[in-house]
């Protein structure tokens, strides 16, 4: 009898651990950078920022040399209002990943 055991980490996808600014944050000034941190390697393929539901900009991902856990991306200041960030990427396990977060600047 042969049994096969696959640990839960072998089946797990990369997950977003945190973002900066935090989802739902209310800020006084526009941050110069946004940050994304994952529990495992990720290669971002696209990050879009929508400001106040009218202006959408694709953020510069820079040169990615492989799968990494942390990203800092420059953010073009658009003034007060809601900022909605939508990201897409490829996890180190080969699965496509995506997510969104928002923050407000007063």
Query: Do residues 30 and 78 lie in contact, with contact meaning Cβ atoms separated by under 8 Å?
Result: yes
**What was the pLDDT predicted at 3?**
42
pTM of the model: 0.81
From the list 20, 13, 14, the residue with the least C-alpha distance to 85 is 20
Give Cα 69 distance to the centre of its chain: 10
Reported confidence tier of residue 53, pLDDT bands at 50, 70, 90? confident
pLDDT of 12 above 70? no
Domain ranges of the chain: 8-105
pLDDT tens string 66-99: 899 999 999 988 999 999 999 999 999 999 999 9
Architecture of domain 8-105: Sandwich (2.60)
Query: Do residues 31 and 19 lie in contact, with contact meaning Cβ atoms separated by under 8 Å?
Result: no
């Amino acid at each position: 009898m042969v049994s096969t055991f696959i640990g839960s980490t072998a089946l797990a996808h990369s997950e977003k651990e945190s973002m900066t600014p935090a989802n739902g944050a209310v800020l006084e000034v526009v941050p110069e950078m946004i940050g994304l941190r994952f529990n495992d390697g990720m290669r971002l393929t696209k990050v879009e920022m929508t400001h106040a539901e009218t202006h959408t900009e694709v953020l510069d991902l820079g040169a990615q040399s492989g799968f990494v856990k942390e990203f800092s991306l420059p953010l073009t200041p658009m003034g007060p209002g809601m900022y909605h960030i939508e990201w897409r990427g490829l996890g180190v396990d080969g699965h496509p990943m995506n997510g969104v977060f928002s923050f407000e600047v007063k």
